[in-house]
């Protein structure tokens, strides 16, 4: 038997039509009843676009495509982006504790208010300390290796690109310029302005990206601005490094599946990328894949993106030096520096362990 009830999606997604959720033996079926009453909305217009327009911020479109980022006169709402699940869950648990104490008539505990993940500025924080280098970038608890490995790669080959992308204002805010790719591949600059506040755990350590120097801010600011643009730290859990390189620099980057290339082809592509001063990254095989065990054998993380720092030939043997964006590595290989997170692999081993590279 069919029975109708208010539409699950018309209330949820704000379609302009009159949909009804009919139920038949417990099975939900969305029935379109718009015909006859209202003209159907053009493709793509219902749902989020229509309903969310008032809530979304419309950013200005810049007139220039190159050069340093310039803060626009338009003032964005400097609301911090949503946190990841684990950070939010921790805060929720602490809040429940505070509420429970209040319910029991107990006095507030000042220690509790200082715990959890809170937005605070880094004490004596500076955008850059001793310039920009790949070694500055350290990944936090968000799944943003796709962002931080290429960020370190850009710092490695052309730090000016990062300096041009970030502008610090007198009021202490930072504006980061990204490029948004539209139809037909045309890119438009997008500016996101964020405050110097970062999510700190118990008022001390940065939860997400940080710099090797405790006062340096630029990796955290880029990650925060990117999260702010994309809708929160939880949205940027996983992504494509070539997208990020294009979005930060406006330059194209290409992904290569290394398994389907011969060692000579890989060598040629790496040499070409080095010669062209392109940022390069490589991703280890994920768990359960063809090469997952080989990744574990060399002590690297599975399904993780690394920065390619160098490609050299010594005594005729080509080798690749990589850096883990975590800033450390568990690898015990002869060419590994656990404290710096770097590892040097012969090209043959590199091709075995890394399935994908952005060159």
Q: Which residue reads 């063809």 in tokens? A: 290
Residues 6 or more apart in contact with residue 253 via CB below 8 angstroms: 150, 241, 242, 245, 246, 278, 279, 358, 359
Question: Is position 51 an interface residue for other proteins (rule: CB under 8 A)?
Answer: yes
Minimum separation from the CB atom of position 355 to other proteins (A): 5
Q: In this chain, which stretch among 62-70, 95-103, 180-188, 196-204 interacts with other proteins, using CB under 8 A?
A: 180-188
Separation of alpha carbons 334 and 317, rounded Å: 15
List binders of other proteins among 252-281 (CB under 8 A): 255, 257, 259-260
Q: Is 297 helix (H, G, I), strand (E, B) or coil?
A: helix
Binds other proteins by CB under 8 A, chosen from 4, 5, 8, 263: 8
**Chain centroid to CA 98: how far?**
32
Residue ranges in the chain assigned as alpha helix (H): 8-13, 48-52, 85-103, 145-157, 159-165, 218-230, 241-249, 263-275, 292-297, 347-353
Q: In this chain, which stretch among 30-38, 125-133, 215-223, 320-328 interacts with other proteins, using CB under 8 A?
A: 30-38
Question: Is position 16 an interface residue for other proteins (rule: CB under 8 A)?
Answer: no
Q: Is 267 helix (H, G, I), strand (E, B) or coil?
A: helix
121 or 238: CB nearest other proteins:
238
Question: Is position 244 an interface residue for other proteins (rule: CB under 8 A)?
Answer: no
List binders of other proteins among 278-317 (CB under 8 A): 283, 286-290, 303
List binders of other proteins among 91-150 (CB under 8 A): 141-143, 146
24 or 113: CB nearest other proteins:
24
55 or 124: CB nearest other proteins:
55
DSSP secondary structure code for residue 325 in this structure: T
Binds other proteins by CB under 8 A, chosen from 37, 58, 277, 314: 58
How many residues bind other proteins (CB under 8 A)? The answer is 71
Binds other proteins by CB under 8 A, chosen from 84, 175, 307, 344: 84
Pairing status of strand 205-206 against strand 317-323: unpaired
In angstroms and rounded to an integer, the radius of gyration of the C-alpha atoms of the chain is 24
Minimum separation from the CB atom of position 241 to other proteins (A): 8
Minimum separation from the CB atom of position 106 to other proteins (A): 30
Question: Sign of the CA dihedral 341, 354, 254, 139?
Answer: negative
Binds other proteins by CB under 8 A, chosen from 108, 121, 203, 231: 231
From 64, 65, 62, 59, select the one nearest 251 (Cα to Cα). 65
Q: Is 104 exposed, middle or buried (0-12, 13-18, 19+ CB in 10 A)?
A: exposed
Question: Is position 190 an interface residue for other proteins (rule: CB under 8 A)?
Answer: yes
Minimum separation from the CB atom of position 65 to other proteins (A): 16
107 or 288: CB nearest other proteins:
288
Minimum separation from the CB atom of position 308 to other proteins (A): 16
Separation of alpha carbons 68 and 308, rounded Å: 26
List binders of other proteins among 59-78 (CB under 8 A): 59
Length of the chain: 359
Q: Is 238 helix (H, G, I), strand (E, B) or coil?
A: coil
Question: Is position 229 an interface residue for other proteins (rule: CB under 8 A)?
Answer: yes
Minimum separation from the CB atom of position 28 to other proteins (A): 5
Question: Is position 195 an interface residue for other proteins (rule: CB under 8 A)?
Answer: no
């Amino acid at each position: 038997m069919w029975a109708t009830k208010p539409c699950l999606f018309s209330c949820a997604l704000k379609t302009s039509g009159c949909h009804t959720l009919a139920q038949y033996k417990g099975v939900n079926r969305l029935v379109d009843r718009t015909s006859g009453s209202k003209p159907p909305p053009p493709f793509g217009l219902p749902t989020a676009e229509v309903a969310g327009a008032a809530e979304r911020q419309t950013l200005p479109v810049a007139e220039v495509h190159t050069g340093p980022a310039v803060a626009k006169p338009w003032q964005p709402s400097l609301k911090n982006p949503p946190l990841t699940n684990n950070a939010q869950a921790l805060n929720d648990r602490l809040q429940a504790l505070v509420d429970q104490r209040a319910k029991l008539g107990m006095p507030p505990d000042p220690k509790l208010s200082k715990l959890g993940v809170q937005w605070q500025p880094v004490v004596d924080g500076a955008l850059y300390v001793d310039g920009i280098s790949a070694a500055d970038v350290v990944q936090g608890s968000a799944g943003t290796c796709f962002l931080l490995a290429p960020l370190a790669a850009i710092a490695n080959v052309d730090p000016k690109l990062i300096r041009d992308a970030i502008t610090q204002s007198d009021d202490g805010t930072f504006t980061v310029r990204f490029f948004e790719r539209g139809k037909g591949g045309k890119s438009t600059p997008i500016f996101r302005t964020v405050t110097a506040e970062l999510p700190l755990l118990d008022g001390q350590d940065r939860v997400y990206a940080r710099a090797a120097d405790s006062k340096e801010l630029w990796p955290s600011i880029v990650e925060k601005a990117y999260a702010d643009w994309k809708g929160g730290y939880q949205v940027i859990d996983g992504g494509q490094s070539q997208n990020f390189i294009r979005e930060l620099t406006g330059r194209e980057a290409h992904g290569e599946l290394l398994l389907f290339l011969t060692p000579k082809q890989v060598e040629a592509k790496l040499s070409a990328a080095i010669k062209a001063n392109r940022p390069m990254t490589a991703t280890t095989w994920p768990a359960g894949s063809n090469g997952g065990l080989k990744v574990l054998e060399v002590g690297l993380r599975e399904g993780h993106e690394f920065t390619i720092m160098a490609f050299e030939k010594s005594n005729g043997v080509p080798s690749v030096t990589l850096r883990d964006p975590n800033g450390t590595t568990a690898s015990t290989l002869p060419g590994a520096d656990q404290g710096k997170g770097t590892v040097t692999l012969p090209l043959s081993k590199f091709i075995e362990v890394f399935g994908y590279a952005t060159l």
